[in-house]
């Protein structure tokens, strides 16, 4: 036995390479695919059988991946040492476990009698599922067969009443790991639609509840196993999360084009598994609880919409709808009924609709458009109904553009969903704001189509090769064409195009421009055109942010956008741009310096001098406060600086210490300035892309706009404002917009348009500071 193990003088579990056993002891290569997994399982099982000391009444049983012959290159080995009450079993177990540890394998093990194993399975549904994968490896075969047979029989007898507990555990796991189909870095095992869910489908099928393991599910399962094998091989260790840095390598091992192709394949497989599990849960629910029954013992059929009835907890077609030639709007009307009632559509109904429902004409009939609006505005029922229809190809018939959008990754850290799910989620979020707008139908459609231009080369939609065009510009004509095809009037379709083209206007302007500048407000009012469009854009912005993820929204961002909307509304209603707000009276009177601290505001008044904004920004950075916006002005010889701030790490600073440092810093205390410079030099950005400066000549009334795009870092505003001050540029206002790990900082520089030489000099100073 010693010749088959890697030496470990300590007698403790070894720390050798986790693939040592496969590569050096057994001689089985890593590899990807079903044959490689099976070869690993047979090789490991054979070696373990040779390691097990021979004793009567003792058997070695594999569970988990080894039991299923699904051994990943760096997977665990799950073993049960089964015995019939023989003496000295713990010593025998040690003689088995230590060689496995010394060989470098990760081991999950237990020592039990048949009765003990069944008792644990009775109390723990996860153990009960694990025993369904049990496979004899070595020793007393009759003993192992007794456990395998009894555990399977017991599961079949008790599964229906135990499935609710299993479902509760599964739902909790999904809440932790999310949905694999919509994640950029999903866990292939634990996320919803992952490998763990296939085990649940296998358990439901074993119980005879439904045919959960259909060919499409088995194929999806094999592909996910291949992906995990490739991920292990690419990373050189056990890892189940498909992290970004490994995607391209994994894709190449699987002979796919790139990491995006891999993500789309994983998403499709995860959806197949998730849909199958949804069907299986419903079948289990019907078997366990049943539905309302009529006097003849059959489930009651209840009409819920035209041509749609509820039957045994699912939606099916009325008999009259099946007999005649179907209405082209039928699939949309069924989907709308499912979303409104929150009842699932029966699988047979979806298959029938996919096979026999005729295509929609262009433009759509009014019934189809009305059904789509009802579907999009249904609230929580929208996402599951849409997913079901997408599963059977119905959505592609409604919107041919959906084929390109399906499972398209969004490589942005603030996005939590793939593009298709983001669009549907935005429509769901928009349904919360339908009472805030004059045209709720256009809000819902705009939400569904707002990112339709993503993933397109710049010349696909416009006919011009323009790499600078963003997805809003590209998407507007596409969305307008869709709106026309589904039956909207010309003016309504044009408004959909406007919503798509301008859906980033409010957040971009609110976070990057000076809202007190009349030119800012006038520019927004001119682009929007009327208050109806303004309200639709405001609602769409909120829905888009909620569907994107928590990092896409904050209270301060909401306040800035609301302030911009209010000022733009005034301009649209009256034709007059509102005057900028007056400075805080407390800052323009009394002895200097003045320091006021609010919940999210810091206001300072001091003797007018150059560099005051940089000093305040640095002091705030010293106390770990991020500056969201900053305004500087001079009133009656005193300099005023007002900043909106938020804690960088979630903890507010000591207000007494902050106020004291601010007073000392603006009064010229050198010790504070030295601390600021030391901290600032230590906190440089680490972005991979080079920083960039962009100039805007006509963006402000009385200033030139310098926009910096760079990696985020503590003290960045301080360093840049110092550099601008040293270059002779006076900053009137600054706006800081954080996008994941990057920032877009806008600085309003007082004075006319600089000469070429001055622009180059200022730009060089800013980039050097970054």
pLDDT digits (tens, 9 = 90+) for 708-754: 998 888 788 888 998 998 898 988 888 887 766 778 888 999 888 99
In this predicted structure, which of 110-119, 341-350, 711-720, 746-755 has the lowest mean pLDDT? 711-720
Taking residues 466-490, what's their average pLDDT?
87
Taking residues 61-65, what's their average pLDDT?
93
Taking residues 73-83, what's their average pLDDT?
90
pLDDT at 566 over 80: yes
Q: How confident is the model at residue 681 (pLDDT cuts 50, 70, 90)?
A: low
pTM of the model: 0.82
pLDDT at 636 over 60: yes
**pLDDT top residue among 471 and 554:** 471
**pLDDT top residue among 677 and 200:** 200
Residue length of the chain: 770
Q: Is residue 615 within 8 Å of 666, Cβ to Cβ?
A: yes
Please tell me the predicted confidence (pLDDT) of residue 433: 96
Please tell me the predicted confidence (pLDDT) of residue 582: 79
Highest-pLDDT range among 364-373, 546-555, 613-622 = 364-373
Q: Who's near 619: CB < 8 A, 6+ residues apart?
A: 658, 661, 662, 665, 672, 676
Provide the mean pLDDT of the chain: 87
Please tell me the predicted confidence (pLDDT) of residue 118: 93
Taking the C-alpha atoms of residue 626 and residue 713, their distance in angstroms, rounded to an integer, is 10
3-state secondary structure 161-217: HHHHHHHHHHHHHHHHHCEHHHCCCCECCCCECCHHHHHHHHHHHHCCCCCCCCHHH
pLDDT digits (tens, 9 = 90+) for 387-423: 999 999 999 999 999 999 999 988 877 888 899 999 9
Other C-beta atoms closer than 10 Å to the C-beta of 34 total 13
pLDDT at 4 over 80: no
The DSSP annotation for 519-569 comes to HHHHHHHHHH-SHHHHHHHHHHHHHHHHHH-GGG--HHHHHHHHHHHHHHH
Please tell me the predicted confidence (pLDDT) of residue 458: 58
Q: How confident is the model at residue 356 (pLDDT cuts 50, 70, 90)?
A: very high
Please tell me the predicted confidence (pLDDT) of residue 678: 62
Cα angle, residue 301 at apex, residues 299 and 305 outer, rounded to 5°: 150
């Amino acid at each position: 036995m010693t010749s088959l193990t890697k030496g470990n003088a300590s007698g403790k579990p070894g720390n050798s390479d986790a693939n040592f056993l496969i590569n050096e002891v057994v001689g089985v290569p890593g590899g990807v695919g079903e044959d490689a997994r099976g070869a690993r399982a047979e090789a490991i099982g054979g070696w373990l059988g040779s390691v097990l000391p021979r004793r009567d009444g003792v058997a070695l049983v594999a569970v988990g991946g080894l039991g299923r012959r699904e051994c990943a290159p760096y997977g665990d080995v799950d073993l049960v040492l089964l015995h019939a009450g023989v003496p000295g079993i713990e010593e025998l177990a040690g003689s088995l476990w230590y060689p496995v540890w010394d060989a470098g394998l990760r081991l999950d093990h237990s020592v039990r009698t048949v009765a003990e194993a069944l008792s644990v399975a009775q109390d723990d549904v996860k153990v009960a599922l694990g025993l369904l994968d049990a496979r004899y490896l070595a020793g007393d075969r009759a003993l192992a067969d007794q456990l395998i047979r009894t555990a399977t029989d017991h599961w079949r007898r008790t599964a229906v009443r135990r499935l609710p507990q299993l479902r509760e555990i599964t739902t909790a796991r999904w809440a932790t790991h999310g949905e694999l189909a919509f994640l950029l870095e999903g866990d292939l095992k634990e996320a919803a639609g992952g490998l763990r869910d296939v085990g649940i489908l296998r358990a439901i099928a074993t119980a005879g509840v439904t045919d959960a393991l259909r060919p499409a599910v088995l194929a999806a399962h094999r592909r996910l196993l291949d992906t995990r094998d490739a991920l292990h091989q690419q990373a050189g260790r056990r890892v189940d999360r498909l992290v970004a840095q490994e995607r391209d390598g994994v894709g190449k091992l699987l002979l796919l084009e790139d990491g995006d192709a891999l993500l789309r394949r994983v998403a499709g497989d995860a959806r197949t598994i998730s849909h199958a599990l949804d069907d299986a849960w419903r079948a289990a629910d019907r078997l366990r609880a049943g539905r309302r029954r009529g006097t003849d013992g059959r489930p009651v059929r209840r009409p819920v919409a035209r041509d749609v009835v509820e039957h045994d907890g699912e939606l099916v077609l009325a008999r009259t709808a099946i007999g005649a030639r179907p209405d082209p709007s039928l699939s949309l009307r069924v989907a709308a009924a499912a979303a409104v009632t929150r009842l699932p559509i029966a699988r047979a109904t979806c298959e029938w609709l996919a096979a026999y429902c005729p295509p929609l004409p262009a433009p759509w009939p009014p019934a189809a458009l009305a059904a789509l609006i009802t579907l999009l505005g249904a609230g929580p029922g929208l996402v599951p109904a849409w997913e079901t229809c997408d599963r059977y190809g119905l959505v592609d018939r409604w919107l041919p553009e959906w084929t390109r959008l399906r499972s398209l990754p969004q490589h942005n850290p603030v996005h939590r969903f793939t593009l298709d799910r983001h669009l549907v989620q935005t429509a769901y979020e928009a349904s919360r704001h339908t009472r805030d707008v004059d045209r709720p139908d256009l809000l819902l459609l705009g939400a569904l189509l707002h990112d339709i231009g993503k993933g397109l080369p710049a010349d696909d939609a416009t006919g011009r090769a323009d790499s600078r065009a963003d997805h809003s510009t590209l998407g507007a004509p596409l969305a307008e064409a869709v709106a026309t095809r589904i039956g909207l009037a010309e003016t309504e379709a044009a408004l959909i195009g406007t919503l798509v083209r301008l859906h980033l206007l409010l957040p971009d302007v609110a976070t990057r421009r000076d809202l007190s500048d009349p030119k800012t407000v006038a520019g927004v009012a001119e682009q929007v055109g009327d208050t109806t469009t303004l309200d639709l854009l405001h609602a769409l912005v909120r829905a888009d942010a909620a569907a994107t993820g928590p990092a896409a929204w904050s209270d301060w961002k909401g306040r800035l956008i609301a302030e911009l909307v209010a000022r733009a509304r005034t301009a649209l209603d009256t034709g007059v741009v509102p005057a900028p707000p007056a400075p805080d009276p407390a800052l323009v009177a009394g002895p200097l310096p003045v320091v006021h601290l609010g919940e999210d505001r810091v206001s300072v008044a001091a003797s007018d001098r150059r560099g005051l904004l940089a000093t305040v920004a640095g002091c705030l950075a010293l106390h770990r406060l991020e500056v969201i916006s900053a305004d500087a002005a001079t009133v009656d010889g005193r300099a005023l600086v007002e900043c909106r701030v938020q804690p960088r790490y979630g903890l507010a600073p000591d207000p007494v210490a902050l106020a004291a440092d601010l007073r000392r810093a603006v009064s010229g205390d050198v010790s504070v300035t030295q601390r600021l410079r030391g901290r600032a030099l230590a906190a440089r950005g680490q972005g991979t892309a080079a920083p960039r400066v962009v100039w805007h000549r006509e963006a402000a009334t009385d200033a030139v706009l310098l926009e910096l795009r760079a990696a985020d870092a503590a003290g960045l505003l301080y360093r840049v404002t110092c550099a601008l001050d040293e270059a002779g540029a006076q900053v009137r206002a600054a706006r800081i917009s954080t996008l994941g790990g990057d920032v877009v900082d806008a600085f309003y520089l007082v004075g006319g348009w600089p000469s070429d030489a001055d622009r180059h000099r200022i730009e060089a100073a800013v980039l050097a500071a970054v």
